[in-house]
Amino acid sequence: MWRKVLFGIGGLLLGFIAYVALPLQQHLSQDYSQVILANDSTFLRVFLNENEQWCLPPFLNAEIPENLKTAVLTYEDQYFAYHPGVNPYALIRALYLNMKNGEVVSGGSTITMQVARMIRDKERTLFQKLLEILLALKLEARYSKEEVLTQYLTHAPYGSNVRGYLAASYRFFNKNPTQLSWAEAATLAVLPNAPGLIFPTKNDRALKIKRDQLLRKLYSNKTIDQETYELSLIEPVPNFIYPFPLAAPHLTEFIHQTNQLNVVKTTIDPNIQYETDFFVKQHSARMQQMGIRNACALVLENSSGHVLSYVGSQDFNDLNKSGKVDGIRSARSSGSILKPFLYALAIDDGLILPNTLIKDVPTYFNSFSPNNASEQFAGIIPANKALIYSLNIPAVRLLNAYGINKFYNNLEAAGISTLFRSPDEYGLPIILGGSEVTPWDVARLYRGMANGGQFNQIAYLPQRNSQNNLQLISKGATRLILEEMKELIRPGLEFYWKKYGNQKPIAWKTGTSYGHKDAWAVGTTPDYTIVVWVGNFDGQSNKSLSGMRSAGPLLFNILNVLPESEKRWFEMDSKDFIEVKTCKETGFYASSECPEVIHTQAPKNIKPLRICPFHKTLQVEKNQIVCSHCWNGQHENVAFLNYPPDVRYYLRKNGGLIQHLPEHKADCPTRKESDVLEIIYPLDQAKIMVTRDFNGAYQPVVSRVATRFTDRELFWHLDDRYLGSTIDQPSLPLRLKAGEHRLTVSDTEGNKHQVSFSVIVN
């Protein structure tokens, strides 16, 4: 009883002095470790604080567990609840003991004084001790007992660079503090007093002795029962330091650089993150044998736009293979992966429906002449097949018809953030990988397709679903395109494709960049969007790189482990569509001349589809086409599928059976060739000298045509070999060998001109 009275009097006196002497507003350091959490609040990563310590922020845990509080107070400061910050009895006793022993054996410090010492962090002199006492009194006056104890436990030194019970609980026991046993709580109570005891395993006897003494005290004051006491004694003391996890290292690194908050909760799903990481590593190990070093993958939840897993490279710690590079934010050539976006836009624009034919023949657009990866030409092919076979020429023709500026603006609006040139500088090659895109932006683009054409931000921090949805494409058009993308044959499953009825459906697209530098596989389901990129971060090309073979298998590994409530697919809601009558054979809007007409689903607000240009009723007389200028009155009307000459050439070459189209009657007055189309270079019977350039290659000869109809497509033949067609361009560079040549140019209306010339090589 007299002790309490003494506390009271002493406290009042010293408290008064403290208020006069220490008006400083001093606080404990706020230098905490940054903690990055998964969506279930487990750790993704913990960073050292600025003093290179593990010191977790206090608000990670709602409350300090009772057993830890009790153990700490029993060990450090039994009268904590009663004293005003200083325990004069303990101080006098400590002074007596220290003088008697000739050295410091006891500090006599209360928990409040220890907090004061942590704040001041000065040398331990008698004067400093006095100041600590005054500060302790001031702390008690301002803070509750609970707050003082929390301050102590949050910052107490636990040996090496571990500070605070939170970090200690994870580092020594790999546990949330709420799960600590009495033995573990006792260990955490004794350690701040002798933090040197924790790390070297040789000291674990000394640590155990101290812990067991505290357990005995807890038993003898009836805090714990006998059974708990005995079981606690046989628990080992920690002799192993658990590392903090290092999940989603590229993302957490990025957050650490850009976000100052002590605790950052992300949208990462720890299980999906773990599995994606596993498959990227496994797949990459296989790719290494072929000299393909890097891979990355991103998984989004489509409904929220939240990132569920973020694997920036095959191995963050693999410094020899640029493991620290974040592939998800690296701009790479897009290969073919922008094509579905164009096809969907082109549907809304009335250029195509999935079955509309697009020409697939050699074509020159000014100086640009795309080629298909297979170097084969179909002649003419439905849009959906052109998309899933990823043919380049139909995509370029479609972009040419759609307009590069419009396409570019839509890409930017959809979130492609890496376009740094003007639309004209990119030109038509943009659809074949002429621009660079990041896997992050690609994920956003495909999620927008899955979202019915609404393109929004995606996020790794929980966000409220943004309401300003940007509708760039109609829902109907995206649904039609996703439906087609489902049909892509899966890598390695070509033979089993139909057998694997229970395979999860996915709309997906692969891409391989020019020169085999980047392999992409991107897919989307009603629930998820997955982006996979495989290649070399340093841009080294590799002949084995292909979207289908190098990236596709990884996409499906990831897809197969994603939790799916049921096998479901995008709904085709009838209110998003109208029915249009199309020509069965060509997929254009049916004209009265089309022999077979079918009903086709089209997006509700589609612009008018072009009328079938290929079915034509012509007048035929003696197996010749005639017109009002040349018929003799005995003609009959015959319906023809009238493809242009280049299409006919390739259809015939590919064994496609096509109807024979007769020639226009030769002596028709409208057929004066030079009137409408004339080769003006080389001239007929000319002799041309071809010189070599600096590299020793022969300079091309640019042939030219004069025509009144500059918008007509022109078809070029050299020595009966078809060269290709040109659009809006009455010229074509020719690479010529020495000798005699014959150049023939025709147009879509069947006008034709031919010249013969000879070439002399210098």
Residues making contact with Zn ion (CB under 5 A): 583, 586, 594, 612, 615, 627, 629-630, 668
Q: Which is nearer to Zn ion, 146 or 579 (CB)?
A: 579
Half-sphere exposure of 655 (CA within 13 A, CB side): 0
Q: Which is nearer to Zn ion, 86 or 677 (CB)?
A: 677
Task: Report, in Å, the least distance between residue 493 CB and Zn ion.
Answer: 36
Which is nearest to 588 in space by CA: 566, 560, 568, 616?
616
Q: Which is nearer to Zn ion, 312 or 382 (CB)?
A: 382
Q: Which is nearer to Zn ion, 134 or 594 (CB)?
A: 594
Task: Report, in Å, the least distance between residue 414 CB and Zn ion.
Answer: 34
In angstroms, the CA 51 to CA 263 distance is 18
Task: Report, in Å, the least distance between residue 614 CB and Zn ion.
Answer: 6
Q: Which is nearer to Zn ion, 152 or 588 (CB)?
A: 588
Segments in 156-241 forming alpha helices (H):
164-173, 182-190, 204-220, 226-233
Task: Report, in Å, the least distance between residue 611 CB and Zn ion.
Answer: 8
Half-sphere exposure of 745 (CA within 13 A, CB side): 29
Task: Report, in Å, the least distance between residue 657 CB and Zn ion.
Answer: 17
Is the distance from CB of 358 to CB of 386 less than 8 angstroms? yes
Which is nearest to 614 in space by CA: 635, 588, 638, 596?
588
Which one-letter DSSP state was computed for residue 33?
P
In angstroms, the CA 733 to CA 704 distance is 9
Beta bridge partners of 301: 306, 528
Q: Which is nearer to Zn ion, 79 or 640 (CB)?
A: 640
Q: Which is nearer to Zn ion, 180 or 353 (CB)?
A: 353
Q: Which is nearer to Zn ion, 339 or 615 (CB)?
A: 615
DSSP assignment of 550-576 equals: IIHHHHHHHHHHS--SS-------GGG
Is the distance from CB of 293 to CB of 321 less than 8 angstroms? yes
The region that residue 726 occupies, defined by phi over 0 for left and psi between -120 and 50 for alpha, beta otherwise, is beta
Grouping H, G, I as helix, E, B as strand and the rest as coil, residue 535 is: strand
Task: Report, in Å, the least distance between residue 709 CB and Zn ion.
Answer: 18
Q: Which is nearer to Zn ion, 286 or 622 (CB)?
A: 622
Task: Report, in Å, the least distance between residue 609 CB and Zn ion.
Answer: 12
Structure token digits, residue 92? 């006098």
Residue 130 φ/ψ, nearest 5 degrees = -65, -45
Q: Which is nearer to Zn ion, 331 or 668 (CB)?
A: 668
In angstroms, the CA 507 to CA 312 distance is 23
Task: Report, in Å, the least distance between residue 248 CB and Zn ion.
Answer: 54
Q: Residue 452, Cβ neighbours under 10 Å: how many?
A: 20
In angstroms, the CA 519 to CA 533 distance is 6
Which one-letter DSSP state was computed for residue 697?
P
Segments in 594-743 forming alpha helices (H):
645-653, 673-676
Contacts with 507 (C-beta within 8 Å, 6 or more apart), sequence order: 449, 450, 481, 482, 483, 485, 486, 523, 524, 525, 570
Task: Report, in Å, the least distance between residue 643 CB and Zn ion.
Answer: 11
- The two beta strands, 636-641 and 615-621, are antiparallel
Task: Report, in Å, the least distance between residue 415 CB and Zn ion.
Answer: 38
Q: Which is nearer to Zn ion, 206 or 668 (CB)?
A: 668
Task: Report, in Å, the least distance between residue 672 CB and Zn ion.
Answer: 11
Structure token digits, residue 368? 């640009």
Which is nearest to 297 in space by CA: 542, 519, 111?
519
